[in-house]
Amino acid sequence: MPGEESSFAQVIIPSPLKEPLTYEIPRPLRDILQIGARVLVPLGKRKIAGVVAGFASETDLKQIKPIVEAMDERPVMDGSLLKLVQWIAQYYLATIGEALATVLPAALRAESRRTIIARQGEFAVTGALQQKILQEIRRRKGPVAVKSLARKFLGGGFYRTLEELAAVGAVEVREGSLPKKRKKNLAVPPLQPEPAQGSTTLSLNVEQQRALGAIEARLQGGGFETFLLYGVTGSGKTEIYLRAIEAARQTKRQSLVLVPEISLTPQLLDRLHGRFADRVGVLHSALTASERWAQWWRILRGEVDVVIGARSALFAPLPALGLIVVDEEHDPSYKQDEGLRYNARDVAVVRGKMLGCPVVLGSATPAIESFENCRGGRYRLLELTQRVEERAMPQVEIVDLRDREPQTADNEQSNGQRPAVSGLISLQLTEALQQNLARRRQSLIFLNRRGFANFLQCRLCGFVLRCDHCSVSMTFHQRLQSVLCHHCALRKPARDLCPGCNHATLGPVGFGTEQLEQELGRLLPQARIERMDRDTTGRRGSQERLIRQWEKGEIDILVGTQMITKGHDVSGVTLVGAILADLSLNLPDFRAAERTFQLLSQVAGRAGRGDEPGRVIIQTYSPDHYVLRDVITHDYKSFFASEIEFRRALNYPPFSRLVHLRLEGAKAPEVEERAKILGDRLRARCQGGMSALKDIEVLGPAPAPISKLRGRYRWQILLKGKRGQALLQLASDARAALPASRHTRLHIDVDPYNML
């Protein structure tokens, strides 16, 4: 609390402001205001919610505005979260306001509400727009929200006219904080837990006991340490998480569990509820604003022992946080691609260090950087080399697509001796699917490409239908009879008339999960087939419904994109097929091999988790690639040994650090010109600056792989260096070095994952 000697407060506003703003503390608030509490403060003509970051007894600033009101009875953030906000802003080269906006839920960042009331009487209202606005306010009878009224008068001059009406006394503009929402408890989040076997305590094998013992020893001894729990798929990592959470609870500490996508991992939520009943909190972006509000306050009041959620749950306001778990720590979903581009896995380690508590990173296919951190002694490696109950790893078979003559419906054999094969599905996989279905077991078919066909192309002139706003072709979706851009969501009706030559020769080329589902239905008409991708899971609760059906054995064959590779433990799955396994190998990204290995290993790991052994069939045009070799043998360490040498030779992470600079704007020549000027200035800065900058490579500028996205042209520069602080300093200098422009924006991505 500020006390009488502190008359001013530093308030962080969740907007792109670089520093906290100073406000006067009204005398009635000086004994109650606390650091981390929200306050309503004036900002220009608005009143907006901010968070108190500190107090001061004096200031050199003139004309200090007072705080309007305190918004909460207690702080919404403790000192450690505020410290984390400051670290995020510094490391990811964002403003303190942007960092706060990332941490606080939207419901806690609400601005004030401005309303208008019409006064009775006659006034000097002469202008046509004045008369229309006043007439509309009177028609609505009562207070009218300014934002609501502004949407009706979009032609310009609305706010100026409103001020004119207020000046002559025709209307009264009132401003105040939004009504406080009722802080109800949401005992059950939208992802409904099933009555699960989660309350059953499973016996641990020797490796599990050893790993759990190391984590428990750190929990009991106190202090920070990062563990990498590296265990093959099905090795029982989740049970170790649950035991560690229980151990933290024994010491009166809370736990935080991060998963890549909460809606895809209902089993973990089931098991948490089975162990900890209603003492489980949930935070993720699929919650409504009111649900997220309620969960935030429930967590803040200490009413939960464990919080589970996706990336944003990292900032849960746990007052006694003593353990952080990051499941599937390698997953790219932990990296935010828009706005403030933070990596939740890395920030989780920082939060654990700030709090002095252990952090457990779990994966069957750890990130190259994480495994190297173990070799360098920064993380402690805990290994699980065997599946639970000594179950065998699935047998992996490779189908070389180069040697295959695909058959179609026109040349199917009718004698019934050998099954026909489609253009998508090999003979080996077709036979395996039929056998698995006859045995009443479940199959998983993976293709990381959604839609029916990749694009529409003219058979005569070669014209390809492309997006108007992005430099990509549009994907054909047969069910919708539309073509869709998967980047900007532009949708058009699908027609066979070619815009290039005006002939009816435009047809689908390539394939996706929608076509694959159709082909499987043709080959196996008696099978119950479902598809899981963004097209089938757009509605709220649809993912959970599919997963529940899958777990209950109500689906024979599940087709999907990478959604189906994550976190599912279904004992009935004995066959996994990967249709075109090397799709991601061809991406222009130094992590392409790593991501391919992770995807294939994870999807293969869905097979054979029950009493029967699993079988995996991988179709590929690159059967000799070292990624496929190591997927067959389930040998992550062999893959790591090959990949780390590739990274060392090219000086890529973990042997260097990267910062990705992307310029984008509506005018292509201007973006290109400014990108080239910025590149030259950064090189000159490296050559003429301090010695630490001389080791930094400035790669580019060059057009981005997707050179136009959502109507904006994109160029990029990559900074590569070994000294993190010098690299961040040069990236920070890039903003000042960029020529001023109203149309071109610079985005800075520290430790980038997606450079397309």
Q: What is the pLDDT of residues 241-251, one digit of tens each?
A: 999 999 999 99
Q: What is the pLDDT of residue 644?
A: 96
Digit-coded pLDDT (tens) for 131-141? 888 888 888 87
Of all residues in the chain, the percent with pLDDT exceeding 90 is: 59
- pLDDT tops 60 at residue 99: yes
- Over the stretch 548-582, which tens digit does the pLDDT of each residue have? 898 899 999 999 998 888 767 788 899 999 998 88
Phi then psi for 704, rounded to 5 degrees? -65, 150
pLDDT tens for 471-484 read: 999 999 998 999 99
Q: How confident is the model at residue 197 (pLDDT cuts 50, 70, 90)?
A: very low
pLDDT at 15: 87
| Model pTM score | 0.86
Q: Which of 57-71, 174-188, 451-465 has the highest mean pLDDT?
A: 451-465
Between 172-176, 313-317, 583-587, the lowest mean confidence (pLDDT) is in 172-176
pLDDT of residue 472: 93
Rounded to the nearest integer, the mean pLDDT of the chain is: 87
Query: Which domains occur in the chain, in start order?
Result: 8-109 (3.40.1440.60), 114-176 (1.10.10), 197-389 (3.40.50.300), 391-450+514-650 (3.40.50.300), 453-510 (no CATH), 657-750 (3.30.70.600)
Model pLDDT, residue 141: 76
**Tokens 């039929």, located at residue:** 434
In this prediction, residue 188 carries a pLDDT of 39
- CB-based contact 572:610 (threshold 8 Å): yes
Max Cα–Cα distance, the chain, nearest Å: 95
Least confident span in 121-125, 169-173, 180-184, 400-404: 180-184
pLDDT at 5: 64
Report the range of poorest mean pLDDT among 63-72, 156-165, 555-564: 156-165
The whole-number pLDDT of residue 464 equals 94
If you average pLDDT over residues 386-409, what whole number do you get? 79
pLDDT digits (tens, 9 = 90+) for 9-66: 999 999 888 899 999 999 888 888 999 999 989 988 788 889 999 999 888 888 899 9
Say how far apart CA 116 and CA 137 lie, in whole Å. Answer: 8
Q: Is the pLDDT of residue 525 over 60?
A: yes
Q: How far apart are CA 529 and CA 638, in angstroms?
A: 36
**CA distance linking residue 733 with residue 521, whole number of Å:** 57
Question: Which of 32-36, 609-613, 655-659: highest mean pLDDT?
Answer: 655-659
What pLDDT, on a 0 to 100 scale, did the predictor assign at position 425? 92
How distant, in Å, are the alpha carbons of 250, 306, 380, 552, 611 from that of 437? 47, 40, 44, 16, 17
More confident position, 265 or 649: 649
Task: Write out the two tokens for 302.
Answer: 């200490």
The beta strands (E) that lie in 206-266 are given as 226-231, 254-258
pLDDT at 273 over 70: yes
Q: What is the pLDDT of residue 186?
A: 39
Strands (E), 427-553: 442-446, 455-458, 475-477, 482-484, 491-493, 506-509, 529-532
What pLDDT is stored for residue 194 in this prediction?
Answer: 57
What is the pLDDT at residue 263?
65
DSSP 79-109: HHHHHHHHHHHHHTT--HHHHHHHHS-GGGG
C-alpha distances (whole Å) from 502 to each of 299, 463, 477, 507 are: 62, 11, 22, 13
Cα distance from N-terminal residue to C-terminal residue, the chain: 48
* pLDDT for the residue numbered 265: 63
Residue 105 has pLDDT above 50, yes or no: yes
